[in-house]
Amino acid sequence: MLANPFAMQLLRGMLGPNYQCKFVSSDTCLNGAEIQSPHREMDPGLSWEPRGYVVNVPLHRCDLDNGPLEVWPCGSHLWRDDVIRGQLGFDDTVQDGRNPDFEWLASLFPSRRVALDPGDVLIRDPALMHRGTVNHTDRPRTMLAICYFRDGLTHNYGHLDLNLDRELYEGLAPHVRHLFSAALEEPATV
């Protein structure tokens, strides 16, 4: 899953040959969990060149009833931080808790809930506005979120030592191990 050939080829084309994996996390939505507020992992930066991508991998069917990811594919990944936070005063970082002002802003734009099957991958910009939705079933919905960054860049979200210890790292195949080598050195934060 960490080195899906299709996703790796796309990431290499978008991020360059020496991109790195910053973190792997499990997003699990349980019955009774509240809907997240719309949020972004990071602002879009000041360049058209992509800095990183999140690859979402469902571990089982993620349908419209069991807490699908909701995305705003209306260019929210291009909303500049100095405008959203600075001029307009919105906080786009609240995930766990209510954020009425940013929820109001999100309501002005169309969104879609994404159904995914095992074997699918969703590759998204970390600046894309999104949220986890309510799971109406009794079965937990689990999806991996794997974040990759351009060589020399990283983000202050997630720490490799929470995902990968030295023994596990040493046991990875070489074509997978290189994805984590720079994260062990902690490149410049963006």
CATH of the domain at 83: 2.60.120.620
**Number of domains making up the chain:** 1
Alpha-carbon gap, residue 58 to 56, rounded angstroms: 7
Write down the pTM of the prediction.
0.82
Q: Kindly write down the DSSP assignment for every residue of 105-137, as one continuous string.
A: HHHTS--EEEPB-TT--EEE-TTS-EEE--B-S
Q: Tell me if 177 is assigned to some domain.
A: yes
Instruction: Choose between 58 and 161: higher pLDDT.
Output: 58
- Alpha carbon 104 to chain centroid, angstroms: 22
| Pair of tokens at residue 134 | 């309510």
Q: For 70-83, how does the pLDDT look when each residue is reduced to its tens digit (9 = 90+)?
A: 999 877 666 777 78
Confidence bin at 5 (pLDDT 50/70/90): confident
Q: Supply the pLDDT for residue 104.
A: 93
Strand pairing report for 69-71 and 141-149: unpaired
Q: Supply the pLDDT for residue 124.
A: 94
Q: Tell me if 190 is assigned to some domain.
A: no
Structural domain that includes position 126:
5-185
Alpha-carbon gap, residue 34 to 31, rounded angstroms: 9
